[in-house]
Structure 1
């Protein structure tokens, strides 16, 4: 399951609590594109839970979108305890002009505060 929420008009959040597959990637991209039609820059909060089933194939599928839109992000907060996702997120910094920060699940509230300012 993929839950979407809004912290502010130009901040979109996602919580992955189930399969993170090609369908989830398409949903995220669609939601982000909707925000980008209205705002020049947006911020993104994404969090996975212990129930998240994250596919490397889905992560790779999202790369072209990230390359295309990476300069339109202001801040990106990634909340995960998975070391391999932290490594991939650090590599993804190359595609974003945004400030990208990693947070553990225990730092969730700090991540929400950071992305909101």
Structure 2
């Protein structure tokens, strides 16, 4: 399931409670696109719940979407206990002109504070 919440007008929060597959990335992108119809630029909070994984295909699809639409993002917070996912996000964002930070699940409140500013 994909749960959506608004932190502020320009901030969308998404919590994923299952493995992040190619199909789930499509749902995430759809939610973001709907919000972009209202706001030109967004901050995005994505939380992958404990013990959930991401497929390689989903990771590449997400990276491709981020690069293709980077001018629409101010900040992106990725919250997950998956160290390989956090590492892949950090490496993929080296050349991206968007502030991207990864957080452990225990630090989700810090992530929400950071993304809200």
Q: Shared fold by TM > 0.5?
A: yes
> Which runs of 5 or more residues in structure 1 are unaligned?
none
The structure with the greater share of residues assigned to helix is 1
Mapped pair 1:74 → 2:74: yes
- 1:63 positional shift: 2.8
Query: C-alpha distance in 2, partners of 1:3/1:51?
Result: 17
- 1:111 positional shift: 0.6
- Alignment TM-score, normalising by the size of structure 1: 0.90
Look up the match of 2:14: 14
**Equivalences for 1:1-117 in 2 at 5 Å?**
1-94=1-94, 96-117=96-117
Query: C-alpha distance in 1, partners of 2:92/2:44?
Result: 13
Query: C-alpha distance in 1, partners of 2:82/2:22?
Result: 20
* Matched length: 117
Q: 1:25-84: per-residue Cα shift (whole Å, max 9, x none)?
A: 111111111122221110000111124232111111223322210121011111112110
Q: Does the 8 Å contact 2:76/2:101 carry over to 1?
A: yes
Query: C-alpha distance in 1, partners of 2:20/2:89?
Result: 15
Q: After the TM superposition, which parts of structure 1 deviate over 4 Å for at least 4 consecutive aligned residues?
A: none
> Which runs of 5 or more residues in structure 2 are unaligned?
none
Query: C-alpha distance in 1, partners of 2:51/2:27?
Result: 19
- Alignment TM-score, normalising by the size of structure 2: 0.90
Q: 1:9-37: per-residue Cα shift (whole Å, max 9, x none)?
A: 11111111113112211111111111222
